Structure 1
Amino acid sequence: MTAVSLGLPIHTRAPGKVNLYLGVGAVGDDGYHDVATVYQAVSLYEDVRVWRADEISLTFTGPIDCSGLPTDDRNIAVRAAQLVADAAGVQGGVRIEIEKNVPIAGGMGGGSADAAATLVACDALWNAGLSRERLHELAAELGADVPFALSGGTAIGLGRGDELSPVLSRGRFEWVLVLPRGELSTPAVYRELDVHRERHAGELAPAVEHPSVSNELLQALRAGDPTMLAENLANDLQAPAIHLSDELADVLELGERSGALAGLVSGSGPTVAFLAEDRESAIDLQIALSAAQLRAARVSAPVHGARVMPPA
């Protein structure tokens, strides 16, 4: 008998991410920016469980307050379930339960992880048999970060961030994340970037239309060298994120003063990611940041993308 026939849920898990590099191109006529980014999946996960049902529904559990999140088709996980149902010709519904651990609007792709895990879970629940390529097509319909949450590991993202190329990354990198108590709107941070560039037009080099990733960063990943990687971390959205949330500057300074090789705002923030030299250094850094009353989580990377977990 299968887990589903016994009334057990399909359990999937997808990771949050940090952006090791995020170069943002000049704003286009359509109001969007091309980006060049390097994603790395980290061991802070969203857990999704699904059961057969008459209609699609969604609930949340876990340590994060999700009371402000929609549970109808405005939610990306609900839309993911509907896409799989449409692709597979399924008439029934699904009960979705998300155990949320990745911060909301924290620059770590938590919603994208929810969507990727839901795609994989519904495919398994309904025996849809969708190919990995088809799942990636559906992921790209949902958002720029969803394909990466599906694949995991380390990857370059171009265009809107959804044109993925895997990157060879040797060994394991140790990170300490300072998890936010507040949120930052990604569109607001991009708008602030445009204002920031106009404000400092005389000091900053003009933004290129199509940014790229440096060979030095890719070499650091291939070598598995955290010191070399630390020298090449960069994020064009960091300055505007700090302008909107000035306490980020204090967090960055504290982490680097407490032994981090380097720190940066992840994505559009406000999560701050600190790279540590090794596991022991990461433990010491987590203790120091926690002592300063910050919510610090120690994670490793890279990790797998969305996948079905074995029955408990």
Structure 2
Amino acid sequence: MELQKPSPAKLNLVLNVLGRRPDGYHELETILHPLAVQDRLVFETRPHGIELTCTDPRLPTDDRNLVYRAARMFFEASGVRAGVRIHLEKRLPQGAGLGGGSGNAAATLLALNECFGAPLGESALHELAARLGSDVPFFLRGVPALATGRGECLEWLDWFPALRGCAFVVVHPGFGIATPWAYAQLRRFPEVLHGTPGRARAALVALQGDDPRKAGAEFYNAFEAPAFEKFPVLALYCEFFASHGAYGARMSGSGSAVFAVVPDVAAGERMLEAFKDRFGNRVWAAVVPVCPG
């Protein structure tokens, strides 16, 4: 049996850090939003073993890869006596804060569960996803969510009225930011490391309204403090988007991708053209609708 599975990205409209927890993780509140750009995975069942190939030679294809680990954990948890050959077509940039690896892992869990007759229920899949990484459970569904805890506690949400008809412009500068580095740097920014609770809920109120500019004004990312200090070009990207009419512009995750919300896809394409005139063409970029359909 062969099955193809898309692996979409995500954006953090709000990412508020509330301090370090006794277990070593950080307490978060974040609004996660699906992004309609994606990797693609192809699964072919086989009698035994796990084989992973990838179009990007820089990525490991053994247990260091989340896709491989997700497959191994699925077989261990489900008791299925079989194997799989997986091919990962990598289209998303690495170290971007777009959740590419986490999405790949979630897509693997969903695909294998489909291939082998759904031996695992939703709660079991969520448990495996949370063990793989804080962002992974979000990718088990294709809708926005409010995430709390270390990011694994999810409140699923409907598409936001304030952003209907809008588009995302997303730019990756060509370099990545390691998440462990970003967290370590927060110690130098105590007001950011211990953020004010409630930012995410305040943004949700605005997102439920009909004013995209008001909603965009509530977007926030604690990791911009260290990222913009070390990589000031990211701040310039956000300033460019804001000065060219974006409703909101922020960095996603721990970086380094930056996104803007604009009135529609046509406006996004015009903005991206102006962006490339200013900063050059050597960036990964995408313009996609905020909501499906």
TM-score, L = length of structure 1: 0.85
- Cα-to-partner distance string for 1:235-255 (whole Å, 9 max, x where unaligned): 111111112322212222222
2:130 partner letter: A
Q: List runs of 5+ in structure 1 lacking aligned partners.
A: 198-203, 305-312
- Residue of structure 2 aligned with 1:249, choices 231, 235, 252: 235
Tell me how far 1:172 sits from its aligned partner: 4.4
2:100 partner letter: G
Residue in structure 1 matched with residue 102 of structure 2 by the alignment: 112
Residue in structure 2 matched with residue 222 of structure 1 by the alignment: 208
Measured at CA, do residues 205 and 103 of structure 1 come closer, stay the same or move farther in structure 2, by a change above 3 Å? closer
Residue in structure 2 matched with residue 167 of structure 1 by the alignment: 157
Residue in structure 2 matched with residue 187 of structure 1 by the alignment: 180
Matched-pair contact (CA < 8 Å) for 2:165–2:263: no
CA distance in 1, matches of 2:218, 2:137: 24
Are 1:82 and 2:77 an aligned pair? no
2:203 partner letter: L
Measured at CA, do residues 52 and 206 of structure 1 come closer, stay the same or move farther in structure 2, by a change above 3 Å? closer
248-257 or 117-126: bigger deviation: 248-257
CA distance in 2, matches of 1:148, 1:104: 18
Q: Which has the higher contact order (CA 8 A, sep 6+)?
A: 1
CA distance in 2, matches of 1:214, 1:140: 21
Matched-pair contact (CA < 8 Å) for 1:174–1:277: yes
Measured at CA, do residues 26 and 278 of structure 1 come closer, stay the same or move farther in structure 2, by a change above 3 Å? same
The alignment's C-alpha RMSD in Å is 2.0
Residue in structure 2 matched with residue 307 of structure 1 by the alignment: none
Residue in structure 2 matched with residue 33 of structure 1 by the alignment: 26
Residue in structure 1 matched with residue 194 of structure 2 by the alignment: 207
Q: List runs of 5+ in structure 2 lacking aligned partners.
A: none
- Cα-to-partner distance string for 1:127-182 (whole Å, 9 max, x where unaligned): 24322222112111111100101112111000101100012323344110002311
Residue in structure 1 matched with residue 223 of structure 2 by the alignment: 237
Residue in structure 1 matched with residue 53 of structure 2 by the alignment: 59
TM-score, L = length of structure 2: 0.90
CA distance in 1, matches of 2:36, 2:193: 36
CA distance in 1, matches of 2:181, 2:255: 11
Are 1:43 and 2:31 an aligned pair? no
Matched-pair contact (CA < 8 Å) for 1:289–1:296: no
